[in-house]
Homo-oligomer: A and B are copies of this chain.
Amino acid sequence: MSPETADWPTARLCNFIVELDFEQIPQRVVHFAKGLMIDWLGSALAGKGARQVEMIDGFARAMGPADGSSTVIPTRRCTSPYFAAMVNAAASHVVEQDDVHNGSVFHPAAVIFPAVLAVAEAEKKTGREMLTACIAGYEAGIRVGEFLGRSHYETFHTTGTVGTVAAAAAVGKLIGLDASGLNHALGSAGTQAAGLWEFLRDAADSKQLHTARAAANGLFAAYLARDGFRGAAQILEGKKGMAAGMSSDADPARLTDGLGTRWATEETSFKWHASCRHTHPAADALQSLMRREGLGPDDILDVVTHVHQGAIDVLGAVDIPQTVHQAKFSMGTVLGLIAVHDVADLDAFEHHALADARVSRFRSKVRMAFDTEVDSLYPKQWVGKISVTTIDGRKLAARVDEPKGDPGNTLARQELEAKAIRLAEFRGGAAADGMRRCIARIWNLDQAGSVVGIFAEL
């Protein structure tokens, strides 16, 4: 049952990861991955001081060592790789600005970069080794998410479940596991995979717990495999594996789809608005309609957003948001921010999402309706489709096929850098100057001898 010679999908995925060589990865994919890293670093810094992050960091301080090789990014204190990965992953997802892959509905950066960076610092890996490992994590994690399908995402928070496997794949690559070892690592990761959407109805803090656990548990699985700890060979596709327990529409062919020719990494979307990705297509469509027609918020009687079922499942839980975080899952609030302030970034959420009566008024004008066409395109394509009735009785419509930040409508280098710097400054995580220097280092990461000190400029 050695994956080198075996032919089950997980084994083939493991072989791909082990054989992945930096020189074989197209330069545009490497460049794209650097952009993802810059974007992620902004998100991790923006998590500074967030209540949930402070509490998880408090636990890490109480239970972990007081120093170590790996940087807790928001504060730059050092501890062991396990706890650095845990706290950084918690921080990365707080402001809902980290990347997302449409087809898998998976947020790769929030779990992969924290796990890989923490280990890369500890084991003094080069920039190329680190980038290769991150790309391995994206390629594997995205395919695992696609494999588990839409039924998985209905109840499970894919970034928590699949994220555990992705982090194990990435760290396993970084520490040089062979195909058999990597298969064991995925086995130990998949059997730790967890994360339920139930928290969303209560505005609970579980999302940060999910990313924290995914990164740390994936790292744990890879380290255990290095020591010879055995995991299930077919934790993904086996009879009692993840798909058997947590999906009703899993497709094992997705696990190996286009390995080495299709680069899933570069299909990842940058998030432009600071809200749940399910709100973005409609937000872009409303913005385009209001600009086109020259409408203000008070000109609009009601808005129907024609959405896929996943949007209703995730956003339907939030009626009147009680917290800023919950507001990011309120379609009405996001559209209200766009309508009233023409922007739904972090500052807009902080200052206007809950307190601005014009935004709440607009919120009550918005409803979601299931749309067969939008649903049939999802999750490969996230189409924004809205109908608007104006106060003066006109019926208007707008459609956006690729929301801003999607691969076909991606951020320009300047937009990407500006967003990361804005995020770094948001809670004083890092000053603009230091962030600019760190960004420059990341663009040159494939020339770096070792990643140690990579955060020294911050």
Interface, chain A (partner B; CB < 8 A): 1, 51-52, 55-56, 58-59, 62-66, 80-83, 154-156, 160, 184, 187-188, 190-206, 209-210, 213, 217, 220, 223-224, 227-235, 238-242, 244-246, 317
Contact = CB atoms under 8 A, between A and B. Distances in A.
B64 A242 contact: no
B202 A191 contact: no
24 contacts: A58-B227, A59-B82, A59-B223, A62-B223, A64-B80, A155-B240, A155-B245, A184-B204, A187-B204, A187-B206, A188-B204, A188-B209, A191-B199, A196-B235, A196-B242, A196-B245, A201-B234, A201-B240, A202-B231, A202-B232, A204-B231, A205-B229, A240-B317, A245-B246
A230 B213 contact: no
Given A1-B202, A80-B63, A81-B63, A196 B231 contact: no
A220 B64 contact: no
A191 B210 contact: yes
Contact of A206 (B82, B188, B203): B188
Contact of A191 (B55, B195, B242): B195
A83 B63 contact: yes
Which of A200, A204, A223 has the most CB atoms of chain B within a 10 A radius of its CB? A204
A194 B213 CA distance: 12
Nearest to A223: B59
Contacts of A242: 196, 198
Nearest to A197: B240
Contact of A59 (B160, B224, B233, B241): B224
Given A51-B228, A191-B194, A240 B200 contact: yes
Contacts of A58: 227
A223 B59 CA distance: 7
Given A160-B191, A190-B196, A198-B241, 5 more contacts: A63-B83, A199-B231, A203-B230, A206-B231, A206-B232
Contacts of A220: 59
A209 B196 contact: no
Nearest to A54: B227
Nearest to A225: B55
A200 B233 CA distance: 10
A245 B197 CA distance: 10
A193 to B, nearest CB: 6
Contact of A213 (B187, B217, B235, B245): B217
Contacts of A155: 240, 244-245
A64 B62 contact: no
A245 B148 CA distance: 13
B191 A227 contact: no
Nearest to A235: B198
Contact of A233 (B55, B188, B202, B224): B202
A66 B232 CA distance: 31
A191 B204 CA distance: 11
Which of A59, A63, A154, A187 has the most CB atoms of chain B within a 10 A radius of its CB? A63
Contacts of A188: 204-206, 209
Contacts of A241: 196, 198
A217 B192 CA distance: 11
Contacts of A240: 154-155, 196-198, 200-201, 317
A224 B209 contact: yes
A203 B1 CA distance: 12
A80 B56 contact: no
Nearest to A244: B155
Nearest to A79: B63
A203 to B, nearest CB: 7
A100 to B, nearest CB: 19
B65 A196 contact: no
A184 B203 CA distance: 12
Nearest to A65: B65
B224 A204 contact: no
A144 to B, nearest CB: 14
A203 B184 CA distance: 12
A232 B199 CA distance: 4
A232 B55 contact: no
A190 B246 CA distance: 15
A205 B246 CA distance: 21
Contacts of A317: 240
